[in-house]
Amino acid sequence: MVGRFDASSGPVDIDLSSLPGAEHISRHHAELYREGSQWFVRDLGSTNGVFVRKGGQSAFSPRLQEPTALSDGDELAFGNLMLTFHQD
């Protein structure tokens, strides 16, 4: 679970509340999960959306409506906070 810690909803696995732009992150914003060897991201009904820019592409995807497979180096935007996905 990716989001912001809030005393009423409890902790999240990946807490983005200390990063610049966190004011645009929902408490339960997204989920990163693995099926076999493949990682996926899913929007959990966040206010400001989840977007993916695949390696080599110049633009982010439209707001995710369904789980999306991730590859090493893909960029994720949770609201306006951008992170790069790396897989070991």
Q: Is the dihedral of CA 15, 19, 24, 30 positive or negative?
A: negative
Burial of 3 from C-beta contacts in 10 A (0-12 / 13-18 / 19+): buried
Tens digits of residue pLDDT in 8-36: 878 899 999 999 888 999 999 999 999 99
In whole angstroms, what is the distance from residue 84 CA to residue 88 CA?
13
- Prediction pTM value: 0.90
Tens digits of residue pLDDT in 34-70: 999 999 999 999 999 999 999 889 999 999 999 999 9
Rg (CA), the chain: 12
